[in-house]
């Protein structure tokens, strides 16, 4: 299994580098093949892990002297997320081959750009590296790499707005990553290495300091208050990138490192849970309030991503306060949200591709004129708002149930959980209202004049919709 | 008493009521004429009218469906059933399994429903408006009826009309102010339900040409008129059975039977007499004023209920 | 085969029907869904019949997902009754939808899915799966309501429906979380066995009651019902009104009474009061509708009110404790559930046929259909007689039981009950009188009088399958009414088992009685026989006068004071409300009062959106830009160090060397 993991990390790196020298005509097909192999490797690891009885294991790989630089860790958290990200990565690459063409009415592309596929494949590899890392140094290195790839991809269209957005993104996440730098350095100083499993032996004070650093970096990467403002502007990126980086994977880096540290630390100081839960609720409410003025579909989805991430932070913080169910729910939500949100973004991208606009007031009657996109739109809207039997319901339900469980010992938590549930209902109301307005009724001008959809994009939309339907039950059964 | 005997008495009682009903209507009309200082039609005129109508050709509007044709017969059958089960000659209900107060009140809804639909079916404006008014008045009156029935049922411990009647007749019933007020409220409600002035809004002759009856003719009109007369008498019988059942047979005997045969028509005549006095002391009111008066009756019923609660 | 196997077969058939209809053409999908719906429902009926003969409640466990629990079905008596209800009505709607449902793949798919989810909801024994399938039920019905999604109104109606249902589901979800927090399980058995603190129980009751009440359509959460039922396809409106509302009442019964114990006095009173309010207001608002489906929807609100009154009385009986009242209250509620399913389904399907043939839902544009659509008219008449509680049909029987239960309650020791029970009886009577008006308006407007539009002139009966479904429901209504002496004891057994109280006698021979024959007895078959038999009396009377020899002419116009008759002279459906609106103006005023907060909320919302729009770039302006400016300024300031003059650089080097020498050797030297 370790070799498969390494394959899922190194293959995309190699592939990315190769795209810089391959002939242009081969790049698309080559990227699809590479990402397919990487994704398959991730799924293989999932299957093998399950077959082996879901037993945790570690493998140390890279040493400098006696310091462990990098190793891989196999447990439920890394395997599940790794498989999901690899699979979604493959789907995004396929989608991009259709999206970044001259048929795109919103952003027509004349020729294949190497840097897109280079950064994208590099990113896929970095994510795999981060997810499977068993050292904090590994987390840090891949953390930074994903930031660089994100900068390259946000600024892809190379206009004023895109460049500014890319710069804002990288500066914000860099400032936040100082937290992770500090945490890693402190960890190294205390234990003489950065093996994550050593965290369990530290004192509470040390753990608090490290977690504080991790949380700061996580908040930056996952666009929580006060580091959230780069995400809406990052919507200047091409939509497949918004779907992958800024919905499914890069923003999940923040929650992932938090989750990984929780798993490694054994018992986490309560103060982290209290602070984490409270800040998560604040972000949740803020993100929700920001839905209302949005006219651009992608910006609305960006704020929705912010709130969904705060759910995950909330779940993880609640798990510190005493509920394993909340932790499982948070991990399941990382898994489920990846599919649901990327589907939603890709639907937005498809709408932009065929009509030339993604402004909500101009999108009407989608279901009548564009039934395939309409159905996927429906599935995405239902999934993101947490309606069963679609996936996000199962993870949200677990987080809430875990919250009620932990509230037995911490009565103040009841208020927070109730706010979270209220926000969930409010999100449902708003997003579903927006969806209902856009999908139903007679087609607007732009929709009526829609071009046909590229088959690659259609394939990806349908696959993601199917995955969204089943991933909830699958994850619940697998984690439980 | 033997249920079979009771059943026979029930049938006899219903036939008696059927035969007497036009007489009492005639009696009310004679009273009105007397109070108006005129001679008016004779007492038996209703019987002659019915006989005459029976032999006339029926003329039916072309839009009328089967409900229109069936309504007079259904109404008469229903009222006959009610006449069978209400204790008039005996204090026990002749047909106990159908002698439940709630059943009887809801049974009155069937003829009302059919008559209203028949009024609409004919397509005549008068009939339609009459139907509408009829329904509104009954909507206002039914709560009163039910409240009084409830109070009586609570006092007696049963909704079986026969049992209540027996209790009142034999003095076992807990008489109280609640009973008296209930009596007054029920009398008022029955008065309204019978369509006496000023509440003959359904068949307001001056305005609506008899309302739902307007499109009927020939034998259907005869049967329908008869069922209207019977309904009025049945309501009187219901009132008597609940509140003033004295004179009816508690035990089966020839003497008791003859006594009941005399007392009951006398009681009914007394009621019609008092009603006629009230009726002719006022003119028919505007339709929209009617509900206000009905609220008064409801107030009385509520007062009776309050007194029941206070054990007065 | 055993009962549970038939049950699983029913579910499978529904799901197969749903899936197959996805791959068929629109017309074929309709037939496929109807066929599988029919045999699935029949299978469920067989399951019910077998379950009644088996000794122990049939149950089946499918799988378990920890920590949510096992996905298991169990058909205890209450669940069996619910399955019977769903299946029996499902037979009718499936028959009807063979030719009178919209030819639409989405409708076909979601109809069968809807029925399957309802079957699961009433038999599952775990709160988590209950919630999942509850929302699936809402989801399926949402897609059915918005089947004409190219109409903007349709989308808005569906959205409001989904929102209300989702909020209700969130409330129910919090109830389950409260259970889970205390007991660490979602299984019904575990929750039932646990002792919860009273505060938790009270909060759980309120949330569950509101959540399920929103779905059941009780006042004040009823406002979504008229638009939703009007928008849905006809057979789906029938399913929603007859069956889906009952699953909500089942939820109240299962969670508030079975799991929570139900023996807190103010709970019963709350349910009873809301029931009475729904009864009166539902009937009243129905009167002002001219759209036949909206009228029927509001009438359903009235009937749900009656059912809730029964439930409330049962709960009060459990709390006092007063075993007879408990059983009678639940008996009345369950019996009315069953009755309402039949006659309301009948009314909706009949109305559906009328709407299809006349092309309109407006009662003022129909008329004269009793001659052109005789079967529809006849069955609709049976339905209206039942719903207005005219003896001896089934509506009367269950209302009679409610009256008897109220009478029982009024005789108890609790003063509040002695005061309110008769008043609730009065409100029931008032609602009943309104109901008569409503249905005279509905039947009269649609079937009586002259044809008031072109389409009404040429309407005819629907296809054979639909007529069979209407007749089937009408026969069911009649059987439930006339067969009360034999059906009531079985339902009483369900009520007694569910409330865990001793069984009371509710029938003897051909009569029904409220536990004690001295209180009262009624025999509906006897009344029916007599009423039909006594029709001979007027016939004899006419014969005695020789009246049968007279002839009849029926080619005349109605009398119109000498003017030529025109169809506009007839009284239309809308004329019925005017007198009531005047007399009962205050009740309508309540409705307008509710509009004001709505407008205020809309204004508040607009203001909030504006302020949020202004807040969005705040961080940008307050933090990012100043920081960037600061960094730029600092950078430029530091840049002055690099002048480009080499002599300055030599100076830097000398100064640094000097400092280093001092630090390294100055300190150690001394």
Question: What would the pLDDT profile of C236-254 be if each residue is shown by its tens digit?
Answer: 999 999 999 999 999 999 9
The residues that bridge with B249 in the sheet, in sequence order, are B90
Residue B204 has pLDDT above 60, yes or no: no
Which chain A residues are within 8 Å of C109, Cβ to Cβ? none
Locate all alpha helices (DSSP H) within C219-322, ordered by sequence: 225-231, 234-239, 245-251, 265-287, 292-319
pLDDT of amino acid A298? 92
Q: How many residues does chain C have?
A: 670
pLDDT score at B208: 61
CB contact under 8 A, C65 and A401: no
Residue to test with chain B: of C440, C562, C585, most B Cβ within 10 A:
C440
Residues of C in contact with A397 (CB under 8 A): 128, 131, 173
Q: Is the peptide bond before A389 cis (omega within 30 degrees of 0)?
A: yes
Flag whether A112 is in a domain. Answer: no
> Nearest C-alpha of chain B: how many angstroms from C580?
7
Residues of chain A with Cβ-Cβ distance to C136 below 8 Å are 388-389
pLDDT > 70? residue B285: no
Query: Is residue C617 helix, strand or coil?
Result: coil
Q: Do C65 and A473 touch (CB under 8 A)?
A: yes
Interchain contact, A429 vs C150, CB within 8 Å:
no
Helix, strand, or coil (residue C260): coil
What residues of A are in contact with residue C173 (Cβ under 8 Å)?
Answer: 397, 400, 421
Q: Can you tell me the distance from the alpha carbon of A258 to that of A183, in angstroms, rounded to the nearest whole number? A: 12
* C593: nearest Cα among C180, C293, C281: C281
Which pLDDT score, from 0 to 100, does residue B205 have?
A: 57
pLDDT value of position C479: 94
Q: Do B265 and B272 contact (CB within 8 A), yes or no?
A: no
- Pick the residue of C164, C616, C620, C626 with the most A CBs within 10 A to test the interface with A by mutation: C616
A69: part of which helix (H) or strand (E)?
Answer: strand A67-74
The answer to whether the Cβ–Cβ distance between B112 and C560 falls below 8 Å is: no
Mutate to test the interface with A, among C109, C173, C203, C607 (most CBs of A within 10 A): C173
* In a domain? residue A90: no
The predicted structure's pLDDT at residue C63: 85
Q: What is the pLDDT of residue C669?
A: 56
A286 touches chain C (CB under 8 A): no
Q: Range of B213's domain? A: 3-309
* Cβ contact C546–B54 (<8 Å): yes
Please indicate, yes or no, if residue A383 is contained in any of the structural domains: yes
Identify whether A394 is part of a domain.
yes
Which residues touch A242 (CB under 8 Å, ≥6 apart)?
Answer: A234, A235, A298, A301, A302, A345, A349
Residues 6+ apart with CB under 8 A from A19: A27, A30, A31, A114, A117, A118, A121
User: In chain B, which residue's Cα lies nearest the Cα of C452?
Assistant: B123
Contact across the interface for C612 and A400, Cβ inside 8 Å = no
Q: Give the per-residue pLDDT at C342.
A: 96
Note whether B287 contacts C579, CB cutoff 8 Å.
Answer: yes
Predicted pLDDT of residue B163: 87
Half-sphere exposure of A346 (CA within 13 A, CB side): 39
Does residue B202 surpass a pLDDT of 70? no
What would the pLDDT profile of A340-397 be if each residue is shown by its tens digit? Answer: 999 999 999 999 999 888 888 888 888 888 889 999 999 999 999 999 889 999 999 9
What pTM was computed for the model?
A: 0.90
Contact B153 C554 (CB under 8 A): no
Q: Does A322 touch chain C (CB under 8 A)?
A: no
Amino acid C125: pLDDT: 92
- pLDDT < 50 stretches in chain A: none
How many folded domains does chain B comprise? 1
Name every chain A residue with its beta carbon within 8 A of the beta carbon of C616.
290, 293
* Contact with chain B for residue C575, Cβ under 8 A: yes
Q: And the tokens for B66? A: 């089967």
If one counts the domains in chain A, the total is 1
* pLDDT value of residue B103: 92
CB-nearest partner of B62 from C396, C531, C555: C555
The angle at the Cα of C208, spanning C205 to C209, to the nearest 5 degrees, equals 80
* Residue C405 neighbours by CB under 8 Å, 6+ apart: C310, C313, C314, C325, C328, C329, C332, C514
What is residue C148's DSSP assignment?
T
How long a stretch of residues is chain A? 480
Min Cα–Cα distance to chain B from C451, Å: 9
Check CB contact under 8 Å for C411 and B113.
no
The alpha-carbon gap from B35 to the nearest alpha carbon of chain C, in Å, equals: 32
Q: Is omega for the bond preceding B52 within 30 degrees of 0, making it cis?
A: no
Which residues from chain A sit within 8 angstroms of residue C131, using beta carbons? 388, 397
Of C384, C285, C257, residue with least CA distance to C591: C285
CB distance C624–A229 less than 8 Å?
A: yes
Q: Is the CB of B128 less than 8 angstroms away from the CB of C575? A: yes
Calpha distance A262→C62 (Å, rounded):
35
CB contact under 8 Å between C520 and B291, yes or no, is no
Cross-chain residue pair B291–C583, CB shorter than 8 Å:
yes
C547–chain B nearest CA distance, Å: 5
Nearest residue of C to residue A406, measured between CA atoms: C181
Domain of residue A436 covers 293-480
Burial class (CB in 10 A: 0-12, 13-18, 19+), C593: exposed
Low-confidence ranges of chain C (pLDDT < 70): 586-595, 597-598, 619, 667-670
Q: Which of B60, B113, B159 comes nearest C388 by C-beta? A: B113
Inter-chain residue contact B67 with C436, CB threshold 8 Å: no
Residue B206 has pLDDT above 60, yes or no: no
Residues 6+ apart with CB under 8 A from C14: C36, C37, C40, C112, C113, C115, C116, C119
Residue A448 lies in a domain: yes
Report whether pLDDT(B65) > 80: yes
Question: Does the beta-carbon distance from C67 to A400 stay under 8 Å?
Answer: no
Q: Is A400 on the interface with C (CB under 8 A)?
A: yes
Radius of gyration of chain A (CA): 21
């Amino acid at each position: 299994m370790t070799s498969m993991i390494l394959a899922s990390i190194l293959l995309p790196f190699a592939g990315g580098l190769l795209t810089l020298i391959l002939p242009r005509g081969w790049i698309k097909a080559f990227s699809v093949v590479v990402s397919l192999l990487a994704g398959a490797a991730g799924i293989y690891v999932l299957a093998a892990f399950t077959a082996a009885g879901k037993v945790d294991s570690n493998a140390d790989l890279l040493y400098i002297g006696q310091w462990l630089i990098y190793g891989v860790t196999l447990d439920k958290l890394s395997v599940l997320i790794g498989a999901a990200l690899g699979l979604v990565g493959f789907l995004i690459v396929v989608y991009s081959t259709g999206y970044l063409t001259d048929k795109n009415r919103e952003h027509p592309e004349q020729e294949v750009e190497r840097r897109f596929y280079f950064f994208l494949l590099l990113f896929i590899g970095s994510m795999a590296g981060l997810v499977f890392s068993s050292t904090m140094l590994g987390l840090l290195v891949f953390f930074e790499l994903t930031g660089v790839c994100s900068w390259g991809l946000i600024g892809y269209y190379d206009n004023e707005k895109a460049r500014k957005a890319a710069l804002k993104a990288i500066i914000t996440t860099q400032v936040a990553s100082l937290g992770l730098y500090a945490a890693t350095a402190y960890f190294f100083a205390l234990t003489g290495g950065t093996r994550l499993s050593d965290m369990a032996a530290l004192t509470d004070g040390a753990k608090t300091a490290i977690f504080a650093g991790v949380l700061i970096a996580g908040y930056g990467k996952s666009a929580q208050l006060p580091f959230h403002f780069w995400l809406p502007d990052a919507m200047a990126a091409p939509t497949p990138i918004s779907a992958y980086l800024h919905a499914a994977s890069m923003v999940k880096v923040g929650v992932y490192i938090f989750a990984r540290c929780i798993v490694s630390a054994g018992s986490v100081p309560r103060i982290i849970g209290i602070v984490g839960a409270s800040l998560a609720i604040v972000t949740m409410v803020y993100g929700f309030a920001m839905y209302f003025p949005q006219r651009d579909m992608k910006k609305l989805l960006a704020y929705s991503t912010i709130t969904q991430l705060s759910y995950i932070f909330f779940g993880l913080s609640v798990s510190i306060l005493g509920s394993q169910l909340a932790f499982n729910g948070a991990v399941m939500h990382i898994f489920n949200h990846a599919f649901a949100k990327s589907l939603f973004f890709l639907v937005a991208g498809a709408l932009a591709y065929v009509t030339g606009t993604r402004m909500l007031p101009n999108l009407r009657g989608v279901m009548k004129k564009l039934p395939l996109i309409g159905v996927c739109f429906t599935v995405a809207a239902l999934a993101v708002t947490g309606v069963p039997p679609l996936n996000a319901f199962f993870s949200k339900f677990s987080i809430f149930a875990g919250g009620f469980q932990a509230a037995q010992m911490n009565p103040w938590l009841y208020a927070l959980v109730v706010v979270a549930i209220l926000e969930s209902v409010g999100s449902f109301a708003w997003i579903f209202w927006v969806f209902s307005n856009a999908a139903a009724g007679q087609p607007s001008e732009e929709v009526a004049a829609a071009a046909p959809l590229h088959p690659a994009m259609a394939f990806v939309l349908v696959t993601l919709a199917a995955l969204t339907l089943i991933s909830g039950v699958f994850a619940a059964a697998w984690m439980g | 008493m033997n249920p079979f005997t009771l059943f026979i008495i029930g049938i006899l009682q219903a036939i008696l009521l059927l035969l007497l009903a036009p007489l009492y209507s005639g009696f009310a009309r004679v009273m009105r004429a007397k109070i108006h200082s005129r001679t008016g039609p004779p007492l038996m005129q209703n019987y002659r009218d019915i006989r005459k109508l029976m032999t006339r050709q029926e003329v039916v509007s072309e839009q009328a469906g089967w409900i229109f044709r069936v309504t007079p017969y259904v109404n008469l059958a229903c009222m006959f059933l009610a006449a069978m089960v209400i204790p008039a000659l005996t204090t026990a209900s002749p047909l106990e399994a159908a002698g439940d107060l709630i059943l009887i009140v809801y049974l009155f809804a069937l003829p009302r429903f059919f008559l209203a639909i028949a009024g609409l079916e004919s397509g005549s404006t008068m009939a339609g408006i009459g139907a509408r008014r009829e329904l509104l008045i009954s909507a206002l009156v039914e709560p009163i009826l039910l409240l009084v029935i409830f109070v009586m049922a609570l006092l007696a411990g049963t909704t079986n009309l026969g049992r209540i009647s027996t209790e009142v007749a034999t003095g076992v019933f807990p008489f109280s102010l609640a009973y008296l007020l209930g009596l007054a409220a029920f009398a008022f409600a029955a008065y309204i339900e019978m369509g006496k002035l000023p509440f003959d809004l359904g068949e307001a002759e001056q305005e609506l040409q008899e309302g739902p009856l307007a499109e009927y003719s020939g034998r259907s009109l005869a049967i329908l008129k008869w069922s209207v007369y019977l309904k009025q008498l049945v309501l009187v019988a219901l009132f008597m059975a609940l509140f003033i059942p004295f004179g009816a047979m508690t035990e089966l005997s020839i003497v008791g039977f003859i006594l009941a045969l005399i007392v009951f028509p006398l009681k009914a005549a007394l009621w019609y007499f008092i009603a006629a006095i009230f009726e002719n002391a006022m003119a028919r009111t505007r339709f929209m004023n009617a509900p206000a008066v009905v609220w008064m009756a409801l107030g009385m019923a509520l007062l009776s209920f309050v007194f029941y609660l206070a054990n007065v | 085969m055993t009962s549970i196997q038939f049950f699983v077969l029913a579910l499978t058939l529904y799901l197969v029907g749903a899936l197959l209809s996805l791959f068929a053409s629109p017309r074929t999908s309709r037939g496929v869904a109807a066929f599988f719906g029919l045999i699935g429902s029949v299978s469920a009926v067989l399951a019910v019949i077998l379950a009644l003969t088996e000794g122990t409640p049939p149950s089946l466990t499918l799988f378990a997902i920890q920590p949510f629990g096992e996905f298991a079905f169990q058909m205890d008596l209450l669940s069996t009754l619910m399955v019977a209800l769903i299946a029996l009505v499902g037979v009718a709607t499936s028959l009807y939808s063979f030719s009178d449902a919209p030819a639409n793949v989405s409708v076909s798919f979601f109809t069968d899915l809807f029925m399957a989810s309802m079957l699961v909801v009433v038999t599952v024994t775990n709160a988590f799966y209950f919630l999942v399938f509850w929302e699936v039920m809402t989801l399926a019905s949402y897609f059915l309501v918005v089947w004409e999604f190219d109409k903007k109104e349709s989308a808005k109606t569906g959205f409001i429906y989904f929102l209300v249902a989702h909020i209700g589901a969130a409330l129910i979800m919090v109830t389950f979380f409260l259970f889970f927090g205390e007991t660490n399980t979602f299984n019904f058995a575990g929750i039932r066995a646990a002792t919860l603190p009273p505060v938790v129980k009270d909060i759980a009751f309120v949330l569950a009651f509101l959540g399920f009440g929103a779905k059941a359509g009780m006042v004040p959460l009823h406002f979504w019902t008229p638009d939703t039922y009007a928008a849905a396809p006809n057979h789906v409106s029938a399913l929603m009104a007859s069956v889906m509302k009952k699953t909500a009442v089942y939820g109240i019964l299962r969670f508030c009474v079975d799991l929570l114990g139900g023996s807190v006095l103010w709970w019963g009173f709350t349910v009873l009061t809301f029931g009475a309010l729904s009864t009166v207001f539902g009937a009243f608002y129905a009167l002002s509708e001219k759209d036949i489906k909206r009228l029927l929807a509001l009438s359903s609100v009235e009937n749900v009110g009656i059912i809730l009154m029964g439930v409330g009385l049962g709960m009060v009986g459990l709390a006092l404790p007063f075993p007879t009242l408990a059983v009678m209250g639940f008996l009345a509620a369950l019996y009315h559930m069953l009755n309402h399913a039949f006659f309301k389904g009948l009314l909706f399907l009949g109305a559906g046929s009328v709407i299809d043939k006349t092309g309109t839902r407006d009662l003022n544009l129909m008329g004269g259909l009793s001659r052109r659509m005789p079967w529809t008219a006849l069955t609709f008449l049976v339905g209206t007689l039942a719903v207005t509680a005219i003896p001896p049909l089934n509506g009367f029987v269950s209302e009679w039981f409610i009256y008897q239960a109220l009478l029982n309650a009024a005789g108890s020791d609790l003063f509040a009950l002695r005061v309110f029970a008769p008043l609730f009886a009065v409100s029931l009577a008032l609602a009943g009188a309104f109901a008569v008006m409503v249905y005279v308006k509905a039947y009269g407007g649609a079937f009586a009088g002259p044809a008031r539009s072109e389409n009404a002139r040429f309407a005819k009966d629907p296809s054979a399958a639909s007529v069979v479904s209407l007749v089937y429901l009408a026969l069911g209504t009649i059987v439930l009414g006339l067969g009360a002496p034999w059906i009531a004891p079985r339902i009483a057994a369900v009520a007694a088992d569910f409330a865990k109280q001793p069984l009371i006698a509710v029938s003897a021979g051909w009569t029904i009685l409220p536990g004690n024959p001295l209180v009262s007895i009624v025999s509906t078959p006897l009344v029916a026989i007599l009423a039909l038999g006594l029709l001979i009396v007027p016939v004899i009377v006419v014969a005695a006068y020789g009246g049968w020899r007279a002839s009849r002419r029926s080619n005349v116009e109605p009398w119109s004071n000498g003017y030529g008759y025109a169809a506009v002279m007839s009284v239309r459906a809308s004329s019925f409300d005017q007198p009531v609106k005047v007399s009962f103006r205050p009740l309508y005023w309540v409705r307008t009062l509710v509009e004001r907060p709505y407008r205020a909320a809309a204004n508040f919302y607009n203001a909030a959106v504006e302020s949020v729009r202004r807040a969005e770039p705040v961080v940008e302006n307050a933090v990012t830009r100043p920081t960037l400016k600061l960094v730029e300024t600092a950078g430029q300031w530091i840049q002055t160090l690099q002048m480009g003059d080499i002599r300055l650089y030599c100076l830097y080097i000398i100064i640094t060397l000097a400092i280093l020498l001092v630090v390294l050797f100055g300190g150690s030297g001394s």
